[in-house]
Amino acid sequence: MPDPNKSLLERLTAFLSPAPTSSTERRQELILTLREAQSEGLIDADALSMIEGVFQVGQLCARDILVPRAQIDWIDINLPLAEIIQNVITAAHSRFPVFEGSRDNIIGTLLAKDLLRNASEKDFQVRDWLRPAVFIPESKRLSVLLRDFKDNRNHLAIVVDEYSGVAGIITIEDVLEQIVGDIEDEHDIDEEADNIIALDNGDIRVKGITELEQFNEAVGSHFAEEDIDTVAGLVIQHLGRVPKIGELIKLGNIEFEIQRADPRQIHILLARQINKQSTSD
């Protein structure tokens, strides 16, 4: 714990010189000191959140934030060109892992801009436009990965497990979001009117920051918790922790599937009505 007899400046200065305490203890003490600085108005809440995110990046590994295999939008090199183009447009990502035969056989990365700019050329072949795929182990530290992304000007890596199978993918955006929070682009839902989107399969795509009142009105539910205002807060309170990507949580007759999250917060959920008859059997 910070020494209350020292000024805030003295405590911050102390971190610039060596000390016998462990790095973990000094990190925790520094965070507590910075939180005090924020409470005194010396730094704002956004700056504090980013500093804490930097510490978190130093402690997390690729396996902690990867997009799991089941949620990857793949490209099969053997599909007809028209189908590949349609898949790229529908998914609306900038980069795609490309496989041949097996999804564990990644042969490269396809940039959407390369495909869409050049697909009309005579004798166009997707294979000719593949960029080399970057493979990393699940145990790779995010701080090291971020440096590699920067040095190699690469934005996507394939995460492999101990058996050399594809465990998932991770992008530079995924890593940066651990520091600065959720980064939304033109394909993300960013208007309050788009907090809740009905999908073709009947699921409902929900932003974690959606207010419970708005969610209840949209799906006919009656969730209400004291001091809880958002759907993400409701799920986290129920579990007592931040769930992982792909995790299923049942609340009443609603099943939530975590589609996008990091160790600090839930960004996107899928919600679906549970058949009342099946739940009573």
Determine the pLDDT at residue 68: 86
H/E run at residue 144 = helix 142-152
Determine the pLDDT at residue 186: 44
Closest to 134 in 3D by CA, of 152, 150, 111: 152
Give me the residue spans of the domains in the chain: 8-43, 64-180, 192-280
- 10 Å CB burial of residue 129 (0-12, 13-18, 19+) is middle
Place of tokens 């900038």: 94
Cα three-residue angle 179-61-51, rounded to 5 degrees: 25
Determine the pLDDT at residue 277: 43
Determine the pLDDT at residue 209: 87
Residue 243 and residue 261 in contact, taking contact as beta carbons nearer than 8 Å: yes
Cα three-residue angle 28-240-212, rounded to 5 degrees: 115
For 230-244, the three-class secondary structure string (H helix, E strand, C coil) is EHHHHHHHHHCCCCC
Identify the CATH number of the domain defined by range 64-180.
3.10.580.10
What residues are paired with 175 via a beta bridge?
Answer: none
Averages of pLDDT over each 10 residues, the chain, 281 residues: 53 48 67 77 73 75 86 93 92 92 96 93 93 95 90 92 92 83 52 72 87 90 84 91 88 90 80 64 43
Please tell me the distance from the alpha carbon of residue 239 to that of residue 233, in angstroms, as a whole number: 10
Determine the pLDDT at residue 4: 54
Q: CATH topology for 192-280?
A: 3.30.465
Give the three-state DSSP class for 37.
helix
**Structure tokens of 45?**
């809440």
